[in-house]
Amino acid sequence: MLNAKEIGKRLLGRRHALGLSQEALAAVARVSHETVRRLEHGAINPNLVTFGKIAEGLQTTVPALLAEKVSEEVIELVVGLPEHEQEIVVVMLRALSNHVAAGC
């Protein structure tokens, strides 16, 4: 399980990848700048509502931010798509995963 510092590193990395300042993320996520700063430093654990807002501001999802083993390349490709296309990609990846797991 990820601790607050590891989550903070992921948030910081994602924010930098998007070229956002802490202030810009706070504005789009509708949280305070102080909340973003404290989260990135691992000083606090977010509640689910706040974490959802931050994930949305980072153009991703809470599960993607918390996943222990995630390919950053896949995330970057999917996050750049419109939401309806992201849903299609998820369905396709699940089907592919099931196919591979079945040994076909």
CATH code of residue 16:
1.10.260.40
Average per-residue pLDDT for the chain: 88
Note whether 97 and 61 are same-domain residues: no
pTM to 2 decimal places = 0.66
Q: What percent of the chain has pLDDT over 70?
A: 92
- What pLDDT is recorded for position 22? 97
78: domain range? 71-104
Note whether 56 and 102 are same-domain residues: no
> 3-class DSSP state for residue 5?
helix
Note whether 28 and 57 are same-domain residues: yes
Note whether 57 and 13 are same-domain residues: yes
- What pLDDT is recorded for position 93? 87
Whether the CB-CB separation of 53 and 64 falls below 8 Å is answered with no
Note whether 75 and 63 are same-domain residues: no
